[in-house]
Homo-oligomer: A and B are copies of this chain.
Amino acid sequence: MSVIYNRVALIGLGLIAGSMALAMRRAGLAGEIVGTARSADTRKVAAEIGLVDRVTDTAVEAVKGADLVVLAVPVGAMGDVAAEIGPHLAPGATVTDVGSVKRAVIDAVAPHIPEGVHFIPAHPLAGTEHSGPRSGFAELFDNRWCLVVPVEGTDTAATERLEALWQGMGANVDVMDADHHDLVLAVTSHVPHLIAYTMVGVADDLRRVTDSEVIKYSAAGFRDFTRIAASDPTMWRDVFLNNKEATLEILGRFTEELFALQRAIRTGEGDHLFDYFTRTRAIRRGIIQAGQDTDAPDFGRGVKKKEA
């Protein structure tokens, strides 16, 4: 593949930005990759491991002469970063972000983007429970979706160029409206994370069951919750504070359904439970068929294949 941007500036050097740097390098998509982070420790580690070509101390230095600037900081920090770099952006440059919420990020960032600079919000739907400059890997976006969320007046050519970058990093691209994005993500990501955090918190709180019991016996289902409840706390705090409306709407639906199942358990309505549990299997089959998860038993976790 050929170079799509001559100089890419990554603001923030966590899981997503680090994986972007490695994925861009894998396919030779960027002339130079510059990176910065607010934390001096993060900058030091990134420089040591050669995560990017050049680490700068400030975001203002990083964006100088960049034709692509990627905001890869927690959603709540996007507005401040945009305000800081706005006056220093090169004419004709593209600014994008990787935030998990889109309406709030657009409202916070757009006012700081000068005339002649393209702002094209985006959100790659990929991640792990790990964070920090050492957590990235080049394959993170392979066969995952990146949602591009154009704002009013977004330039078509600039959008296509950003889409080509994401495809070059292995992702499939879809275009979506900001409000619909925030609702879809509330269902597929935000509320699932919140209830996983809640379940793990309940287990940790319960005096009659010890933490060591919870840990030892987690293979019975609980460990899947702990994985997503181990994600970056700052990132997730900001997601919930900035996607309040959709999160609360889906939470309302969730508790309504949960109470109906709870009542079925209390009153012994086995058929209601059976029908509900049968219906949810079909969604799983769809996900396997769409290549968004593996059908391997136990994900191949602890499974050593020995012949009998």
Contact = CB atoms under 8 A, between A and B. Distances in A.
Given A217-B145, A228-B224, A281-B233, A305 B139 contact: yes
Given A200-B280, A306-B26, A258 B188 contact: no
Tally of this chain's copies: 2
A301 B219 CA distance: 18
Contacts of A251: 258, 262
Q: What class of interface size applies to chain A in its complex with B?
A: 35 or more
Contact of A258 (B195, B200, B208, B298): B195
A54 to B, nearest CB: 17
Given A138-B308, A188-B214, A229-B284, A265 B248 contact: yes
A287 interface: yes
Given A220-B185, A220-B188, A222-B189, A283 B204 contact: yes
A187 to B, nearest CB: 5
A284 to B, nearest CB: 4
Contact of A197 (B130, B208, B220, B261): B261
A221 B302 CA distance: 21
A270 B201 contact: no
A61 interface: no
Contact residues of A: prevailing secondary structure: helix
Contact of A194 (B200, B261, B266, B297): B261
A247 to B, nearest CB: 6
Interface string A132-175: 00010111101111010000000000000000000000000010
Interface of A: 22, 25-26, 76, 100, 125-130, 135, 137-140, 142-145, 147, 174, 183-185, 187-206, 208-209, 211-231, 233-234, 236-238, 240-241, 244, 247-248, 250-251, 253-255, 257-258, 261-262, 265-266, 268, 270, 273-274, 276-287, 290-294, 297-306, 308
